[in-house]
A and B are shown apart, each in its own frame.
Chain A
């Protein structure tokens, strides 16, 4: 009896053991043995994309919209280099992925073999960790480690490079039950003394502010955050990555902060006396120039699982290293045992101030416009889906309008590339979201420039019958680029006009989908309704929008939070 398995069989068995239901990939010479094993089983279903970048984005969308690790499979050489954009995208937003790549046989490594690249070297700066498996005896433990590292601590993509001969050789298989790594021990439990200090600062605050980021979502801590905010009655703002971590329709929410954040959120950040930063990393798009935002004017508490996120751009007073969920549970428990409450009179005065800022109505736009305003499309999409859809986006103005006008009340509903800002992310990510949530409504808000970066995936959508709704805010410009050129480069619109656009309706139809072109504000609602009625069809809605519209508020680069350009 032969109980030995090939490396390819082991790879698939490991995925099965990890409970992987979908992997996103594209075949090639170095992974042929692995594809052969995929073919022989049906537990792990393979989704064939049309470009490796899309495989990784789809795995990424799958992970962001579920709580599972996303898995992608690519071949050596060009398969890997195509995947790099996807890997870097996931890395910047701390998304747990396992990427399996084929490699040339071990004996050919280093000889400039056909389709050889130094995969470990190329991906090193954009993965949480990577491995080259040179010995089949190490394969199963390596894959186990990859899943463990990807999903624990600050999550991130992990790549496992498997040479072709390793996938062909045989050995006995046993999937390790656990991993022990002496060099990797993520801390999840916060330091009790630090939590106590934080509680005291919170109780002493007169102008408190909660600033919550993607770490809340990654830590599955939306419930705890919501409890904390409501218990304290403090204003709460979310980063672009944190949207949905606290309900946008709650009265304590002041919306998104940062470069395109609301006036009230940015002013409250600038003027608060105690800032509670939760799973957020003081990004330059968020606090602008750190010179204008120091802990001399305010006390800062920072909860983050990654010590290197703490005091990186802004010095903080009370660092708490740990997972958001565990730390918040402890903090809430502690606050409940304390008799004092924050100064209610001061808090009321603070809210009066915040509401004055809110009354500035910074997101207003011309609702009576005869040309379609992109903001209106997002608002109507929000209404049409009753706020329950999964929304992916690409990168540009449309992304900001989506973030500003779709009110996310639940986590893992807003899927976008924040850290790397990868155009082309939206459509493939939406595919992954749909696989993870087969019954969910999934819409991709995109621009005519971004959508063309992964448009080939319309073919994948046809093959798997994915009923995505694509909302193309077509302003015939790389709008975000044009906006910067208008504001900072004397209206010289260098190469930002989108010439020679395809007829998106015909394009969608040629892929076997439904296409719609919407040119009148009065038609927005009807089109959306009709599109969502087509439950099993992909509908590409091409909205012809105002070319001159800009995203407001805006903090110009290098400026402080209160130096916003307003409408």
Chain B
């Protein structure tokens, strides 16, 4: 099953490599990983997506908790949560195609953030599957480049993760 794990850790050099090292050393797979400092600059917030059995994911959260620099870990998939991912896509946009792409971007509530005579750069946020759907909708051969951040997650309502 797909799990989305959220963690707070000390914003210190090397903390990220401990998490990444843990996954490679123990053979856990990482589908995506995002990390950035929080409003408290001493803390970083990380979101990890992994697909594994519940037993393995239980081990993953225990092992993450064991890392000295990790302050809190929560498996967001245990409850209701929101997740979002940002994607930047550069597509070839010429002739009639320009209109067609613009229309699709509007339908997916994306934005065109850079334009040249022959290309558009599109910004799109949403769940991973929405971003996938967008890519499936536009003509494959027009895609020049995609950049995705991987999922960021947060609990719904009152559910918060604080140090």
Interface residues of A (CB under 8 A from B): 120-121, 124-125, 128-129, 132, 149, 181-184, 306-308, 311-312, 315
| Residues on the B chain within 8 Å of A121, using CB | 17
Q: Which of B13, B18, B58, B68 makes the CB contact (< 8 A) with A184?
A: B68
Binds A, one of B59-67, B79-87, B151-159: B59-67
Q: Provided the pairs A308-B62, A308-B66 are in contact, do residues A183 and B21 lie with their beta carbons within 8 angstroms?
A: no
**Complex: A160 Cα to B66 Cα, angstroms:** 19
Chain A residue nearest in CB terms to B8 = A183
Give 6 nearest A-B pairs by CB, closest first.
Answer: A308-B62, A183-B71, A129-B68, A307-B62, A125-B25, A184-B68
* Contact between B68 and A149, CB atoms less than 8 A apart: yes
Q: List 19 A-B contacts (CB under 8 A).
A: A120-B14, A121-B17, A124-B18, A124-B21, A125-B25, A129-B68, A132-B13, A132-B14, A149-B68, A181-B68, A182-B71, A183-B10, A183-B70, A307-B66, A308-B59, A308-B62, A308-B63, A311-B55, A312-B59
* Contact between B68 and A182, CB atoms less than 8 A apart: no
B9 interface residue, CB < 8 Å from A? yes
**Complex: A183 Cα to B69 Cα, angstroms:** 6
Q: Provided the pairs A149-B68, A307-B65, A308-B59 are in contact, do residues A183 and B9 lie with their beta carbons within 8 angstroms?
A: yes
Given contacts A128-B68, A183-B9, A307-B65, 9 further A-B contacts (CB under 8 A): A124-B18, A125-B21, A149-B68, A183-B69, A306-B66, A307-B66, A308-B66, A311-B58, A312-B59
B115 interface residue, CB < 8 Å from A? no
* Contact between B25 and A183, CB atoms less than 8 A apart: no
The 0/1 profile, CB within 8 Å of A marked 1, for residues 6-36 of chain B is: 0001100110011001000100000000000
Chain A residue nearest in CB terms to B63 = A308
B163 interface residue, CB < 8 Å from A? yes
| Residues on the A chain within 8 Å of B59, using CB | 308, 312
Shortest Cβ gap from B19 to chain A (Å): 11
| Residues on the B chain within 8 Å of A125, using CB | 21, 25
| Residues on the A chain within 8 Å of B70, using CB | 183
**Complex: A182 Cα to B18 Cα, angstroms:** 18
Chain B residue nearest in CB terms to A149 = B68
* Contact between B163 and A182, CB atoms less than 8 A apart: yes
**Complex: A181 Cα to B163 Cα, angstroms:** 11
**B: number of interface residues (CB 8 Å):** 20
Chain B residue nearest in CB terms to A153 = B66
**Complex: A120 Cα to B21 Cα, angstroms:** 12
| Residues on the A chain within 8 Å of B66, using CB | 306-308
Interface centre among B9, B68, B71 (most CB of A within 10 A): B68
* Contact between A124 and B17, CB atoms less than 8 A apart: yes
**Complex: A125 Cα to B17 Cα, angstroms:** 11
| Residues on the A chain within 8 Å of B69, using CB | 183
| Residues on the B chain within 8 Å of A183, using CB | 9-10, 68-71
Shortest Cβ gap from B27 to chain A (Å): 13
Shortest Cβ gap from A160 to chain B (Å): 13
Shortest Cβ gap from A214 to chain B (Å): 17
**Complex: A312 Cα to B25 Cα, angstroms:** 16
Shortest Cβ gap from B28 to chain A (Å): 13
Chain B residue nearest in CB terms to A315 = B55
| Residues on the A chain within 8 Å of B10, using CB | 183
The residues in B between 68 and 113 inclusive whose CB is less than 8 angstroms from any CB of A are 68-71
Shortest Cβ gap from B58 to chain A (Å): 7
| Residues on the B chain within 8 Å of A149, using CB | 68
The residues in B between 34 and 72 inclusive whose CB is less than 8 angstroms from any CB of A are 55, 58-59, 62-63, 65-66, 68-71
Shortest Cβ gap from B129 to chain A (Å): 32
**Complex: A129 Cα to B69 Cα, angstroms:** 9
Shortest Cβ gap from B10 to chain A (Å): 6
| Residues on the A chain within 8 Å of B63, using CB | 308
| Residues on the A chain within 8 Å of B17, using CB | 121, 124
| Residues on the A chain within 8 Å of B25, using CB | 125
**Complex: A184 Cα to B62 Cα, angstroms:** 13
Shortest Cβ gap from A183 to chain B (Å): 4
Interface centre among A121, A132, A149, A307 (most CB of B within 10 A): A307
| Residues on the A chain within 8 Å of B65, using CB | 307-308
| Residues on the B chain within 8 Å of A312, using CB | 59
| Residues on the B chain within 8 Å of A306, using CB | 66
**Complex: A128 Cα to B66 Cα, angstroms:** 9
| Residues on the B chain within 8 Å of A129, using CB | 68
**Complex: A124 Cα to B26 Cα, angstroms:** 13
| Residues on the A chain within 8 Å of B68, using CB | 128-129, 149, 181, 183-184
**Complex: A124 Cα to B15 Cα, angstroms:** 11
| Residues on the B chain within 8 Å of A182, using CB | 71, 163
Chain A residue nearest in CB terms to B18 = A124
Chain A residue nearest in CB terms to B22 = A125
**Complex: A125 Cα to B55 Cα, angstroms:** 22
Shortest Cβ gap from A558 to chain B (Å): 19
Chain A residue nearest in CB terms to B69 = A183
Shortest Cβ gap from A157 to chain B (Å): 13
| Residues on the A chain within 8 Å of B62, using CB | 307-308
Shortest Cβ gap from B107 to chain A (Å): 44
**Complex: A476 Cα to B117 Cα, angstroms:** 80
| Residues on the A chain within 8 Å of B71, using CB | 182-183
Shortest Cβ gap from B81 to chain A (Å): 23
**Complex: A488 Cα to B123 Cα, angstroms:** 61
Shortest Cβ gap from A151 to chain B (Å): 14
**Complex: A30 Cα to B18 Cα, angstroms:** 25
**Complex: A308 Cα to B65 Cα, angstroms:** 9
Chain A residue nearest in CB terms to B70 = A183
**Complex: A308 Cα to B55 Cα, angstroms:** 11
**Complex: A315 Cα to B59 Cα, angstroms:** 12
Chain A residue nearest in CB terms to B15 = A183
Shortest Cβ gap from A153 to chain B (Å): 9
Shortest Cβ gap from A554 to chain B (Å): 28
**Complex: A132 Cα to B14 Cα, angstroms:** 10
**Complex: A182 Cα to B13 Cα, angstroms:** 17
Chain B residue nearest in CB terms to A145 = B68
**Complex: A125 Cα to B24 Cα, angstroms:** 10
**Complex: A306 Cα to B66 Cα, angstroms:** 8
| Residues on the A chain within 8 Å of B18, using CB | 124
| Residues on the B chain within 8 Å of A184, using CB | 68
**Complex: A303 Cα to B5 Cα, angstroms:** 27
| Residues on the B chain within 8 Å of A120, using CB | 14
Shortest Cβ gap from B43 to chain A (Å): 9
**Complex: A322 Cα to B55 Cα, angstroms:** 21
